[in-house]
Structure 1
Amino acid sequence: MSDTLYICGLKVERSQKLRTYLPVLDTKTEIPVTIINGQNDGPTLLITAGIHGGEYPGIAAAMELGRDISPEDIRGCLILMHPVNIQSFWARRAFVIPEDGRNLNREFPGDVNGTLSQKTAYLLSQFFFPLADFYVDMHSGDIHEELHPYVYYPGLPNEEISEKSREIAKILDMKFMVKSMATSGAYNYAAISGVPSILIERGGAGFCLREDIDAYKADIRNVLSKLGLCSDPIQPRQHNPSDVSNVIYLENDTAGCWFPNFRSGELVKKGDELGLLTDLFGTLIKKYISEQDGVVLYHCPALAAPQGTILVTYGKFAAE
C-alpha cells in the first residue's frame, strides 16, 4: 500500500487517524468510519460492524477499537465502519434498512443506481473490499435472536481463500466455527472476490453487554497480531473453535407463538422436541423435532414468530 490512502474522497496520510462520516453514494445517509494508517507499511484489515443495525456488541467494540488504537500501534491500515446500517441502528430495526425494507447482507455486490441498501452494498464491494487483505464482518444475534458465540468462514471460491480465512477463525475465543458454502452476504461476496474473510457472531437479543464487547475486542486484537498489523503476541484463549457441520436453519411456514425448549449452546439429540408453535389462543399448530444430534447455535427467544422466522439453528458437533 502507498503511504497515503485515498478512498471515496477521503485522504489519510501515513501515521494519521481519521474519524469521520462517509456519505453513501448520492444519498443523505452517512456511515461513521475510522481509518488508521499505521506508522509502517503492512496489510490492510477492513472491519464492518452493524450491517444489521440491531446487533450491538460488535458495533460498540468497533467504536472503542477505533477510538483507542493509534497509528503508532499498527503496521499497515485498519478501516472500521461502525455501524454500516446507520438507519436501522437509530430505528432499532432488525435486519432491514427501514428506507427500502431490504436486508443489506443479501444485497451484495449492490447496485450504484439501486435503493439505499443496494447503494450501501455497492459502496463496500466496489471501494472497500478491493483495498483489503483481510475482512472481518462483526455480527451478533439480532434483536430477536439469542446465540452462542461462533464464527463463519467461507468455503468459496477455492481452498486457498477458505484456508486463509479458517486460519484466522481458529484464533478466536469461541467453541464453534462453521464453513459456509453460501454466495450471499458481505463476507461471502468478499471471499468470492478474492479477499479472505470471516463473519463473527457474538452477543444478541438486543443486549450490549460489556463482557461481549470486551470479548469482541480481544478477538480483534488477536486478529491484528495474527495478520501482522501489530507485534503483540496472540493472547491465550479459553476456547478453540471446532467445526460444526450440516447446519439446519429451521423456519416456520406459518405465523405463531414460539415456545423453545433449548437455548443457544445446548446440545440436542435426534428426536428431541426443539419447541412448539401455537396460535394466539394457545392451540398447538406444530411441534418441531430435531433431525440430528447437534448443538444449538442460535434460536428465537421471542414469543412472536412471523412466518419465515428462523426458530432454531443447529448443526452437528463432535463434542470434546
Structure 2
Amino acid sequence: MSDTMDICGLKAERGQKLQTYIPVLDSNTKIPITIINGQNDGPTLLITAGIHGGEYPGIAAAIEISQAIEPEVISGCLIIIHPVNIRSFWERSAFVTPDDGKNLNREFPGDVNGTLSQKTAWLLSRHFFPLADFYADLHSGDIHEELYPYVYYPGLPNSEISAKAREVALVLDMKFMVRSTATTGAYNYAAISGVPSLLIERGGAGLCRREDIDAYKNDLHNILCKLELLCSPQQQQKHTPVDVTDVIYLETDQAGLLVLQLPLWRQNKTR
C-alpha cells in the first residue's frame, strides 16, 4: 500500500479520511465515496452498497461506518461507496437504473462508451477493483422482496480465491452461505479478476430496520478484524454460516399472479 490512495484524482494521504463524490464519466451523476487511508500499513478493503438503490440496510450501514471509523484505528485502506446507484436510490427504483432501464449488477465489466449503468460498472471495474485486496458488496431484498440473511462467495475463479472469500464469510453472523457458480454481478467479476469477494444479503421489502443495519455493521466489523484492518475483538456470533448445496431457483415463463394459501386447518390452528 502506498502512502497516497489516488482514485481518479481523489487523493487521501496516509492518516487521512476523505468524504466526497466521484463523477461518472460524461454524465451529471456523482457517487458518494469515503476513503479512509489508515495510519498504518495493511490491506485495502472495498465496500459497496446500493448497486440496487432500493436495498437500504446495507446503504445505511455503509454510511454509518464511513462516519464512525477514523484513520487512526485502521491498518490499510478502507474504500466505501454508499450508494453506488445513486440515481436508482433517489428515484426509489427497484433493480434498474431509471436512466437506462438496466440492472447495474448485470453490466460488469461495463462499457466506457455505454449507458449510465454500463459506465458505472466500468468505473468500478477499471478504477476500484484493481486497488482492492478484498471486496464486500452489500445487498438486501429489493423494494418488493423480503429474504433470510445469507452470503454468496464465488466458486468459479479458482480454488484459492474461492477459499479466501469463504474463510471471510465464516465470520458473518448468519446461518447460510452459497457457493456461486454465476459469472454475472460485481462481486463475481471482481473475483474473476483476482479479488476475493462476497455478496452479502440482509433485510429487504423497502425497509431500513435498525436491527438489520446493526447486524450489517457487526458483519463489517468482523470482516475488518478478520482482514486485520482493525485490531479489536470480533463481535460475538450467534450463527456461523454453513454451505447450502441444494439450491432451487423457481422461475416461470407465464405471466400472472401466484397466491399461496394455507390449508384451512392450519389457518384455524394459528388463530
TM-score range, shorter chain: over 0.9
Match of 2:246 in 1: 246
Q: Gaps (5+ residues) in structure 1?
A: 263-320
State the partner residue of 1:132. 132
Query: Residue in 2 aligned with 1:231?
Result: 231
Q: 2:150 corresponds to which residue?
A: 150
Structural mapping, 1:1-320, within 5 Å: 1-260=1-260
SS in 1 for 2:245: strand
- Residue identity in the other structure for 1:205: A
Residue deviations 1:220-245, cap 9 Å, x none? 00000000101112221000101112
Q: Is the partner of 2:62 in helix, strand or coil? A: helix
In structure 1, what is the equivalent of residue 268 of structure 2? none
Distance in 2 separating the partners of 1:248 and 1:120: 31
How far residue 73 of structure 1 moved from its aligned partner, in angstroms, is 1.4
**CA 1:261–1:43: 2 relative to 1, 3 Å:** farther
Separation in 1, partners of 2:261, 2:174: 23
List per-residue Cα deviations over 1:287-309 (Å, max 9, x = no partner). xxxxxxxxxxxxxxxxxxxxxxx
Shift of 1:258: 2.8
Give the secondary-structure state (helix, strand or coil) at the position aligned to 1:247: coil
Q: Tell me the distance in 2 between the aligned counterparts of 1:250 and 1:260.
A: 14
Q: Alpha-carbon deviation of 1:261?
A: 5.8
**Larger deviation: 238-247 or 109-118?**
238-247
Deviations along 1:18-72, one digit per CA (max 9) or x if unpaired, are 1001101111101000100000110000000000000000000000000000001
Unaligned runs of 5+ in 2: 263-271
Q: Partners of 1:234 and 1:227 in 2: how far apart? A: 11
Distance 1:165 1:236 in 2: 20
Query: How far 1:257 sits from its partner (Å)?
Result: 2.0
Structural RMSD (CA): 1.0
Query: C-alpha distance in 2, partners of 1:49/1:145?
Result: 17
Superposed CA deviations along residues 159-188 of structure 1, whole A, max 9, x for unmatched, are 000000000001100000000011100000
1:109 partner letter? P
Name the residue aligned to 1:303.
none
Cα gap change, 1:188/1:261 in structure 2, threshold over 3 Å: closer, same or farther? farther
Higher relative CO (CA 8 A, sep ≥ 6), structure 1 or 2?
2
2:254 maps to a residue whose letter is T
- How many residues align? The count is 262
TM-score (norm 1): 0.81
Calculate percent identity across the aligned residue pairs: 74
Partner of 1:289: none
Shift in Å at residue 259 of structure 1? 2.0
Distance in 2 (alpha carbons) for counterparts of 1:258 and 1:208: 27
The CA distance in 2 between the partners of 1:141 and 1:10, in whole Å, is: 32
- Structure 1 SS opposite 2:246: strand
Higher helix fraction (1 or 2): 2
